[in-house]
């Protein structure tokens, strides 16, 4: 049984404390049950809670084997890389399909009661971005979520979803066929909830946090002023991820949410889909001589710069296993091209392309 799956169900520590604690352990301990248990109980002396967590992990493992879904833990390579950067990531995800590791994830969310304006935006968005290595992430809910998933599939793009309930309580049931298409299309759907957990009011914000956290940025198409989509946008904003919104007429109720995000300067307005790809991910500029195919190192460096993240030279050198002199040259190239800027001693930050 996976130790981190047991940790996932351990209720005596928050996700943030769990992440901090496992970061202090030697990597090999994360796969050795006895050593892991000994270290955990020394850090969190709650043997009854740990015993209960082991029972839940055993039950989840049995359910996964019987039902044919996968369990992916925080320390495993198929766990979404952007989720790992959160201060409070789940220690395990249950799901079907796989997370596309080499595609850039964009969260697209909105109302369950979209207008034709929102539905058309979903189609135009996926059409314009489908030529890039993108993964559209949403929640498989009615309305905008389903429209984005379906539009992505229609143009051959990868799309993934996060659920509010466990794998035994998929909702809405009418989207089961759509979920299967996500898997067949190279994506999948995932949850951090145990097998028998029903979707409840408190599990939807938890699900929304995964949508925001697994993505480089979040785009709100249509939403009311108070809605799950705006919860997702707020979570993305507080995680330091970029937020975009589709503006609409002031007399359109489903544009009140996006308009408010733009007015509050929490989101950047998207007015032309043709201009959106490089704003979302600067490497996706058209062939204008900015960053050519030969700049492999520069592209790798830029991939380490999420929106708003300050990154030090030492960190880049360590992550890419390159000499600092080579990294420094690459950083200078990216600064000359306007992708990043120096914000301190050997510290850099990505610019947003407008």
Pick the CATH number of 283-350 from 3.40.50.920, 3.30.465.10, 1.10.10.10, 1.10.10.60: 1.10.10.10
Domains of the chain by residue range: 3-96, 104-280, 283-350
**Which one, of 105, 184, 173, 182, lies nearest residue 142 by Cα?**
173
Q: How far is CA 23 from CA 71, 88, 192, 211, 254, in A?
A: 21, 13, 20, 24, 43
Task: Give the integer Cα–Cα distance in Å for 341 and 228.
Answer: 34
| CA 35 to chain centroid | 31
* Per-residue pLDDT tens digits for 268-298: 999 999 899 988 887 776 544 444 444 568 8
Check if 104-280 and 283-350 are the same fold. Answer: no
Provide the pairing of β-strand 217-220 with 188-191: unpaired
Q: What is the percent of the chain with per-residue pLDDT over 70, rounded to a whole number?
A: 95
Task: Give the integer Cα–Cα distance in Å for 73 and 89.
Answer: 11
Question: Which sign, positive or negative, has the C-alpha torsion 266, 270, 275, 277?
Answer: positive
pLDDT over 80 (residue 352): no
For residue 338, the SS3 value is: coil
pLDDT over 80 (residue 308): no
| CA 256 to chain centroid | 25
Per-residue confidence (pLDDT) for residue 286, from 0 to 100: 58
Architecture of the structural domain at 104-280: 3-Layer(aba) Sandwich (3.40)
pTM score = 0.82
Per-residue confidence (pLDDT) for residue 281, from 0 to 100: 83
Per-residue confidence (pLDDT) for residue 354, from 0 to 100: 37
Per-residue confidence (pLDDT) for residue 339, from 0 to 100: 80
Q: What is the mean pLDDT of residues 174-192?
A: 96
Q: What is the percent of the chain with per-residue pLDDT over 90, rounded to a whole number?
A: 72
């Amino acid at each position: 049984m996976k130790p981190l799956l047991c940790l996932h169900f351990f209720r005596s520590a928050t996700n943030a404390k769990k992440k901090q604690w496992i970061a202090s352990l030697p990597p090999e301990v994360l796969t050795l049950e006895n050593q892991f248990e000994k270290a955990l109980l020394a850090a969190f002396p709650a043997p009854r809670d740990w015993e209960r967590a082991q029972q839940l992990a055993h039950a989840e493992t049995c359910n996964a084997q019987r039902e044919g879904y996968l369990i992916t833990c925080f320390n495993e390579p198929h766990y979404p890389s952007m989720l790992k950067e959160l201060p409070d990531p789940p220690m395990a995800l249950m799901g079907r399909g796989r997370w596309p590791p080499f595609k850039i994830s964009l969260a697209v969310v909105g109302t369950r009661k979209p207008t034709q304006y929102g539905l058309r935006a979903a189609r135009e968005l996926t059409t314009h971005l489908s030529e890039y290595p993108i993964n559209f992430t949403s929640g498989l809910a009615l309305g905008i979520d389903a429209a984005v998933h379906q539009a992505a599939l229609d143009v051959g793009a990868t799309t993934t979803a996060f659920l509010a309930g466990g794998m035994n309580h998929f909702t809405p049931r009418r989207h089961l066929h759509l979920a299967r298409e996500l898997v067949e299309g190279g994506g999948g759907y995932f949850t951090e909830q145990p097998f028998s957990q029903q979707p409840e009011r408190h599990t939807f914000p938890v699900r929304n946090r995964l949508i925001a956290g697994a993505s480089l940025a979040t785009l709100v198409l249509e939403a009311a002023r108070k809605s799950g989509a705006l919860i997702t946008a707020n979570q993305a904003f507080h995680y330091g991820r970029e937020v975009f919104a589709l503006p609409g007429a002031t007399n359109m109720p489903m544009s009140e949410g996006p308009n408010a995000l733009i007015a509050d300067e929490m989101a950047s307005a998207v007015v032309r889909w043709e201009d959106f790809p490089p704003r979302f991910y600067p490497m996706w500029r058209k062939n204008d001589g900015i960053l050519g195919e030969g700049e492999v190192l520069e592209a790798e460096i830029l991939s380490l710069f999420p929106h708003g993240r300050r990154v030090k030279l030492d960190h880049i050198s360590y992550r890419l296993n390159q000499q600092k002199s080579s990294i420094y040259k690459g950083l200078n190239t990216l600064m000359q091209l306007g992708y990043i800027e120096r914000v301190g001693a050997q510290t850099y930050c990505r610019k947003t392309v407008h």
